[in-house]
Chains A and B, each alone.
Chain A
């Protein structure tokens, strides 16, 4: 069972996040079955946390779905990288595998595929073991939510801390820092001037484009200095 044993850091890692999600979702008014169903149908930590914070802010269905789409666009890239190793697998199995692609399962599967010691079966097992951990811990968190008073253990901060953690892990170069600063500052300005829940998508696209243009400019200047 190398697929299952390799999944243990993900399995364990999803437990506190899943519990925190369940508690927050319960405090936002969702029933445990609604929490479980969201975890089954969506299976995406950041998207689910964002959906809950938008739901409690009274956002519209469309804006939550569009934001979910924008947040999960990154899976296009992950799925593209994984496809290199899966060209001999048939579509039925691929459709089952695709369901379990998250930031974490992607990272572990890709590293193992690159090492050459990995098979499709193991990757699929890893995805579904991780999926099980997420679904179970969010539902358990949902039941526990009733007994945890508001604000206890800093649970209100779980979402912010998760965003900080995800963001910090992606600061792997100047371009990411630049994009994050653009987006963060623009988002604050927009939020103060004209609050609206499409701001996030608009600001993100604007900052990614802006950062790309700035980086291109820097490269051009460097090249002309060299010439």
Chain B
């Protein structure tokens, strides 16, 4: 990716990140969104995260094969337990990395 292209990407990403942060503060002080929309928006982040995560765990990097015995999925099991128990993002990330690293020596 060329530098101008990259700058364009950042500008776009910056705008679409900033606007949802700003607009409700300015426009929505006091007012309420319709209930169904609040409920729907509330589910979107979980959906996005799962949609990103699951394929990374079970599909090979070339996208050709699917398996339940990939190191990514094996490492995910203890990582999920640690995440649920510790409730800390940084602990989860560090633990997950070390577990995956350790599993790498077994394969």
Tell which of A109-117, A139-147, A165-173 binds the partner.
Answer: A165-173
Which residue from B12, B55, B76 sits with its C-beta under 8 Å from A164? B76
Interface mask (B67-100 → A, CB under 8 Å = 1, otherwise 0): 0000010011001100110011110111111111
B residues in contact with A51, CB < 8 Å: 9, 13
Secondary structure at chain A's binding surface: helix, strand, loop or mixed?
helix
Known: A61-B12, A76-B41, A98-B21. A16 touches B90 (CB 8 A): yes
Q: How many residues of A are in contact with the other chain, CB < 8 A?
A: 95
B residues in contact with A183, CB < 8 Å: 46-48, 50-51, 54
B residues in contact with A17, CB < 8 Å: 89-90, 93
Bound-state Cα–Cα, A43 to B83, Å: 23
- Contact (Cβ within 8 A) A61 B9: yes
Report if A135 contacts B (CB, 8 A): no
Restricting to A163-216, which residues have a CB under 8 Å from any CB of B? 163-171, 175-176, 179-188, 191-192, 195, 199-201, 203-205, 207-209, 211-212
Taking the closest CB of chain A, its distance from the CB of B95, in whole angstroms, is: 7
Bound-state Cα–Cα, A84 to B25, Å: 8
Report if B106 contacts A (CB, 8 A): no
Q: List 28 A-B contacts (CB under 8 A).
A: A13-B88, A17-B89, A37-B7, A38-B10, A68-B16, A72-B16, A73-B20, A74-B45, A75-B21, A76-B23, A83-B24, A83-B28, A84-B29, A87-B29, A91-B26, A151-B104, A155-B97, A160-B57, A161-B96, A163-B53, A165-B79, A170-B46, A171-B46, A183-B46, A186-B51, A192-B63, A199-B51, A209-B40
